[in-house]
Amino acid sequence: MHNGPVIVSACLLGLRTRYDGKDAFSMEAVTLLEGRVAVPVCPEQLGGLPTPRARAAITSGGGVDVLAGTADIVDETGAVVTVKFIKGAMDTLQIARISGAEEAYLKEKSPSCGASLICQGGACVNGMGVTAALLMKEGIAVKGF
User: pLDDT digits over 13-57, tens only?
Assistant: 999 999 999 999 999 999 999 999 999 999 999 999 999 999 999
Is residue 1 one of the residues assigned to a domain?
no
For 3, 18, 32, 38, 95, the CA distances from 35, given in Å and listed in that order, are 8, 26, 9, 9, 20
Q: Return the pLDDT at 138.
A: 99
Q: Return the pLDDT at 1.
A: 55
Q: Return the pLDDT at 136.
A: 98
Is residue 114 one of the residues assigned to a domain?
yes
Is residue 112 one of the residues assigned to a domain?
yes
Is residue 12 one of the residues assigned to a domain?
yes
Sequence letter at residue 14:
G
- How many folded domains does the chain comprise? 1
Is residue 64 one of the residues assigned to a domain?
yes
Q: What is the pTM of this model?
A: 0.96
Sequence letter at residue 51:
T
In terms of residue numbers, what domain contains 66?
6-144
The string of pLDDT tens digits covering residues 129-141 is 999 999 999 999 9
For 5, 44, 71, 90, 105, the CA distances from 12, given in Å and listed in that order, are 16, 14, 27, 20, 8
The string of pLDDT tens digits covering residues 78-117 is 999 999 999 999 999 999 999 999 999 999 999 999 999 9
Is residue 93 one of the residues assigned to a domain?
yes
